[in-house]
Structure 1
């Protein structure tokens, strides 16, 4: 099913059937059942005001279209959307609604926040077929329920997004990457030192034996900050491909399960040592990607409750492991209450997220 309008989508949802919600099919993880409901026909940029740094688009708009429109005005989505198609062995076209549903955020999150932090407003259809709008065109404090933040990362289980609005960012004048060969523990310690400095880091990653630090902004400011960090950490200026970190291309096309782990940066190196797995670290160690060639590593047990692990890719025939981190009883009660409120008949992505 592929509704061409918000009203048509609302009518479809009023029927008593289960739906598998999909934008471009490039980011969905977890098991679900139901009739495929695609939002790709709900497409088009509805408003773009470069001077106000504001963009509004229908949820099925291809991400690439949004990025092209912004690039023409030397602007961008600040949160640096990952492209995980190669990692997850997917085809298809990523949509802006899918980006929001996954709260997809890349290396620049350490500086500007996640996708949800750039969202100004959303429109969606809930499980009763009601059309809901929340937020607006400017950043402001909200009272009551902040549905904008709630919908970001909800994986389509609370409603079907039809429109999203963003605060966008000007492309900076200059960008510099500093790099050094480092062991994992020393590299992550250096990244934490850089993030704790006053030098405004926009990327802090460790990959394939190298620690990487990115700075962006006005040319004079970038040069000054880079010089201070070179002196502080003994890093050198280098050419770097941040898409390798953003898209985890090191693990693409290689056999094995892939885990995405959120953890305290100080806990990243000990966790990786306990598991003995190959890793890519972003956000100064706050985000850890792990490649498990056999699919047998007990990542959640190694976390000992001090983190959050999502099984992004599994092996055929591997042991059955929940894709999403099991919730505590208190959180599960809150989650169930939200789903009962927004999708009382359980028609959206049944079976996903527990």
Structure 2
């Protein structure tokens, strides 16, 4: 990738600047361990760590400048860009340095309390069923085509996301799908990304240690849809069986944004009827769309997965994929690891592993289990203590 001059970064950030504006830049990072020759280091004051502590170290490593909310310290030798918001600047600089990779493919963002990971896997599977080369960022893994690595966090920092998307574009990916957590949105990790479609799965009590109130939690999620990140998504795909989804859809429609809805219990653009769930056969339902009806048979188990399949189908249709191939993709996608995942064994009882980490998610898991058996349900629930 060709280096760019610091002048382009200065113009994008509208930063106060000291140094040589013709300096060539090859990378930007907030992680001092990744700072190298020709890089910009963004010094962020976090809750437990202040990135300014690492400025001398990154300069020794070959970094050519610092982006910071603070004034340049005395006796500093290098470029110093003073900005109002360092996290926002990280996203903006990364978009410039990596030449806006989100503009070069169909980027799908998925947010919501529950269902993000499985829906991400489903969107990827439906793209692959349509022979579309794709990439994926999830809680579980980061994948470009058939190359996978373990995930570090649900939504990477903006510099890492842009670097990942540039690699995906360079490897001829036409679509990328990513989980966009509320905390990541609030911390500007998704700023300056162009989303072809954004999905809202649901909103239930979670992360209130961070957001404090449900209104704040909703406001963070809404930023993915309303243009606060830089651009509005081309289309918003929303679960209107969820009361917060209804509110979001109404607010976006009032701003003349394109909204596509899905539901099991209400009238919507994509709906499911005659849902049947079996621990042996999986889940089946009648998919109803504006293009007709299709019988869906999936190895995924549980009514919550029906919402995930409706969301993935909605975005696949919006991306122009063939509906018959979408139906074929749903037949074979086994979803994400640990999402009502059946464990093979030789006993006369079923063992299921589920990632449920909120009260609503655990309730959905237990309700699904109750629908599938008339016998005893034994629950082992781990609590991280946070």
Q: Fold conserved (TM > 0.5)?
A: no
Higher RCO (C-alpha 8 Å, min separation 6)? 1
TM range (shorter): under 0.3
